[in-house]
Structure 1
Amino acid sequence: MKLPRWAARDAFPPLSPRVAIANAEAVVKDLLKEAGSFDPKFSKCSLRKLDEEAWYYEIQLC
């Protein structure tokens, strides 16, 4: 999977927090379809640095 890079000189990350949160909610809902009425709610979003140009969002749902 090819991921976009976010260099330190770039003003904003290539993926917005809002889109990252929506993607996380969709994945969790899909994984837990069989759980019935479970509806995950957003709790926390953290931007984490992997290396000089690679970052990722850590999304917590509850």
Structure 2
Amino acid sequence: MVPKPVGPYSLFKFGGDIVFLSGQIGDVGVKDIVHQTRSALENIKAILSSIGLELNDVIK
């Protein structure tokens, strides 16, 4: 499930052949860094999946 933005911004934006994702965070209120990291990555995967991409398509 694609996360809802917590503010007035887009989760992603196309710039030609490149997609830019907004910053993602883990679950608010959870102090476990492992859980927060997994949560943020799941958010990223869901956003990518919604536009037909996957983590293998990500560049640094």
Q: Which has the larger radius of gyration?
A: 1
Fold shared by both chains (TM-score > 0.5):
no
- TM category (shorter chain) comes to 0.3 to 0.5
* Higher percent of residues as strand: 1
Q: TM-score, normalised by structure 1?
A: 0.35
* Higher percent of residues as helix: 2
Q: TM-score, normalised by structure 2?
A: 0.36
